[in-house]
Amino acid sequence: MKVIETFADEVIEHGSFSPLDRVYVINKIKALVGDEDEELTSENPVTQLVAMAVKRQKINNDATAKEILNDLLYDLATPIPSEVNRIFWQKMEQAPVEATNWFYQLCTDNNYVKKAAIAKNIVYTGTSSKGHELEITINLSKPEKDPKAIARAAKMQSNNYPKCALCLENEGYKGDYGKNARANLRIIRMMIGGKAWGMQYSPYAYFDEHCIFLDQEHVPMKINQQTLINLIEIERMLPHYFVGSNADLPIVGGSMLAHEHYQGGRHIFPMMKAKIRQEVAFPTFLEVTAGIVDWPMSDLRLESKNTEQLVTLASLIINFWKEYSDPARMIVATDQKGENHHTVTPIMHRNGEKYVLDLVLRDNNVSEQYPLGIFHPHKELWHIKKENIGLIEVMGRAILPGRLKTELQEVKKYLLQEPNEMASSHEAWAKQLQAENQNKITKDNVDQIVDQAVVEVFEKVLQCAGVFKDDADGQAGWNRFIEHLLEQVK
């Protein structure tokens, strides 16, 4: 079997071509990898075709060039956007879960969702000493930047098309040095809140069926009443998915504040399973149940079948929090320059007919003691987690840097008193673990001890990000906030 001919048949089977197009398709492939065919020797024809192109000097031998060609080949085997949308919405008439099942399978089959890379991630679940279930992931899926590609990108003129990695204009975009390859990207078009939006899956997913809802306009993120309306519309459309928005301020927000978008998917996060520890009654919103969630971050949960009451009450809470200050606890809404420092991370899922909305209170103030953020992971935790706490981590799933895979192995060697090259940043933590487990650490339990220790660090990370701490003073802060809130929401 010849590799080009084999892949041409796959293109015809899965893409937008028919058997009559076979010669045409073969020539499209040859234009990318060279005219001579070879015997099929790889389980994946695309992998062999990319190697052929490198060998024949049709592309540079670097990660970026290989990724671009990989996606161009898979693009041939993917239906065009109009056909993808037609099939998706046809299946939506049958059942939303059938539509997303089909679309997700398409995006894994065409290698837009990098399942093989995602499988490299380290993932486990643990329970902290505070009793919170938490999920730990060490992210190994995203490839390291190729130094050759970085050098080439530096020599290229800046290209402002597409404006960012979330723009609709990425669909079918070839990519280049410094720009992501997106030839095999497909986006489902939909109306949300009276505006044109799109839905796509994340190529390096952090959880099951990790999808992104993106405004078709390149406009900045903003949390307001319209956000809540949009989340409800998405939940009506796709009730088997959760959906949420990163906060819309630096430090506490996501990494893509310049483009309005939400994240969603088919995953039940630890925060969703956390119970209410203190009920809060809003007398004028009798169809909404509410309460403070037993969670390391400061989460006020609302639940109702009545979406109008839910949106109205949630909007009042968001607006109140944006103006609320408690200087004794370093909670300051607006600084002397008039800059706003308060927002929320809103997250919604369905519980049968009820809509469940978690409003996580966020504050992005900094201080001399905490230059990266008062409510941000503190310095003693940076050896494990220094990055911002976004939507996914708010819900209890840690996204930890890939460096930890090797660094934690060295920590384990240290604990076992074996020769090691442990990073100095872990030294104080490792000594503490050694003292806590004196003469009890063995080769059989060292993995469990370190895994649990990482869970405890992540618990502390979330506590740092919580505006009301899990102690007597934090409870007093909650009580003060609720008391003032109830005075306003009458």
* pLDDT value at residue 23: 98
Residue 423 in domain: yes
Distances (CA, A) of 301 to 167, 225, 263, 347, 348: 32, 16, 19, 10, 10
Work out the mean pLDDT of the chain and round it to a whole number: 95
The CA-based dihedral angle spanning residues 432, 433, 435, 438, taken in that order and rounded to the nearest 10 degrees: -170
37 and 158 in a single domain? The answer is no
Quick: pLDDT tens for 380-439: 999 999 999 999 999 999 999 999 999 999 999 999 999 999 999 999 999 999 999 988
pLDDT above 90: residue 357? yes
Which one-letter DSSP state was computed for residue 275? Answer: P
Residue type, 181: A
Average pLDDT over residues 136-146: 80
* pLDDT value at residue 264: 98
pLDDT above 60: residue 471? yes
Residue 70 in domain: no
Answer for the pair 188, 103: CB distance below 8 angstroms, yes or no.
Answer: yes
Tell me the angle at which helices 446-465 and 427-436 cross, rounded to the nearest 10 degrees. 120
Closest CA to 420 of 430, 409, 431: 409
The residue ranking higher by pLDDT, 256 or 214, is 214
305 and 345 in a single domain? The answer is yes
Strand 211-215 to strand 261-265: parallel, antiparallel, or no bridges (unpaired)?
antiparallel
149 and 134 in a single domain? The answer is no
* pLDDT value at residue 178: 83
Average pLDDT over residues 375-380: 96
What residue numbers bound the domain in which 35 lies?
1-58
Q: Which percentage of the chain shows pLDDT scores above 70?
A: 97
Answer for the pair 427, 407: CB distance below 8 angstroms, yes or no.
Answer: no
pLDDT above 60: residue 240? yes
Tokens of 450: 């370190």
All residues at 6 or more sequence positions from 438 whose CB lies less than 8 Å from its CB, including other chains: none
Closest CA to 235 of 259, 262, 217, 216: 262
Quick: pLDDT tens for 70-117: 999 999 999 999 999 999 999 999 999 999 999 999 999 999 999 999
193 and 257 in a single domain? The answer is no
Residue 210 in domain: no
Residue 1 in domain: yes
Residue 480 in domain: yes
Which one-letter DSSP state was computed for residue 195? Answer: E
Residue 209 in domain: no
Mean pLDDT lowest for which of 131-145, 231-245, 313-327?
131-145
282 and 323 in a single domain? The answer is yes
163 and 241 in a single domain? The answer is no
State the total domains in the chain.
Answer: 3
* pLDDT value at residue 153: 60
* pLDDT value at residue 439: 83
Domain boundary among 156, 173, 203: 203
* pLDDT value at residue 438: 85
Confidence of residue 253 (pLDDT cuts 50, 70, 90): confident
pLDDT above 60: residue 150? no
Confidence of residue 143 (pLDDT cuts 50, 70, 90): low
* pLDDT value at residue 145: 57
Average pLDDT over residues 207-211: 96
Q: How far apart are CA 407 and CA 417, in angstroms?
A: 15
31 and 164 in a single domain? The answer is no
* pLDDT value at residue 254: 76
Q: How far apart are CA 5 and CA 49, in angstroms?
A: 11
170 and 131 in a single domain? The answer is no
45 membership: H or E segment, kind and range? helix 45-55
Residue 272 in domain: yes
136 and 183 in a single domain? The answer is no
40 and 105 in a single domain? The answer is no
Phi first, then psi: what are they for 468, rounded to 5°? -110, 115
pLDDT above 70: residue 149? no
* Angle (nearest 5°) at CA 90 between 88 and 93: 110
Residue position matching structure tokens 């060697």 = 413
* Angle (nearest 5°) at CA 182 between 177 and 186: 170
Confidence of residue 160 (pLDDT cuts 50, 70, 90): confident
Q: How far apart are CA 381 and CA 386, in angstroms?
A: 7
Average pLDDT over residues 217-231: 97
Up-side HSE of residue 32: CA atoms within 13 Å toward CB?
25
Q: How far apart are CA 300 and CA 119, in angstroms?
A: 34
294 and 351 in a single domain? The answer is yes
* pLDDT value at residue 336: 87
232 and 124 in a single domain? The answer is yes
Q: How far apart are CA 181 and CA 183, in angstroms?
A: 6
Burial pattern 409-418, b for ≥16 Cβ within 10 A else e, equals ebbbbbbeee
* pLDDT value at residue 51: 97
Cis peptide before 250 (omega within 30 of 0): no
**DSSP line for 63-104:** HHHHHHHHHHHHHHTS--HHHHHHHHHHHHTT-HHHHHHHHH
Residue type, 149: A
Residue 475 in domain: yes
